Structure 1
Amino acid sequence: MNADEIRTAIRKSVNRITGVAADDIRDTSSYRDDLGLDSLSMLELTVDIEYAFKIKVPEERLATIKTVNDTIQLVQEFLPAQA
């Protein structure tokens, strides 16, 4: 799975949670400051990401997720290697 596919899935999830149009969600968009996600919304996003990509993100890494780009990098890190 490439970064564009991951980005699209993340944007859809953020759109569903916040109502912000997917086209308005940038890689550098701050979840808290730009998109208005609170801690509960961030938890919902994390569950969506883990489910969509079939990964488990360690709890200590969750605090490092601030932007869409952070999430893309994290998903790429935890995705199993493609054969």
Structure 2
Amino acid sequence: MAFTKEEVLSGLAELVTDETGIDASEVALEKSFTDDLDIDSISMMTIVVNAEEKFGVTIPDDEVKNLKTVSDAVEFIVNGQE
């Protein structure tokens, strides 16, 4: 089942909230994970693993560093769906 960008954004927001306590409404496409949301690398890896399970995608470790904004992650997940 393919997810829409809106579904992926909503799901990612839930994962970020669960991991960091940041309000889901703060998780917007233009936000940077590190600069705006202040997510460290350990929390980011947890979010990535949970996102892989939630959306049925694989996000290689060497790709994670390229996911600088919420939009980057949403695009990667939407485009990575089978």
Length-normalised TM-score, structure 1: 0.90
Deviation of the 1:42 alpha carbon? 0.8
**Matched ranges for 1:22-33 at <5 A:** 22-33=24-35
**Matched ranges for 1:1-83 at <5 A:** 1-80=3-82
Contiguous gaps of at least 5 residues in structure 2: none
Q: What's the % identity of the aligned pairs?
A: 26
Deviation of the 1:59 alpha carbon? 2.2
In angstroms, what is the RMSD of aligned CA positions? 0.9
Deviation of the 1:58 alpha carbon? 2.0
Which structure would you say has the larger Rg? 1
How many residues align? The count is 80
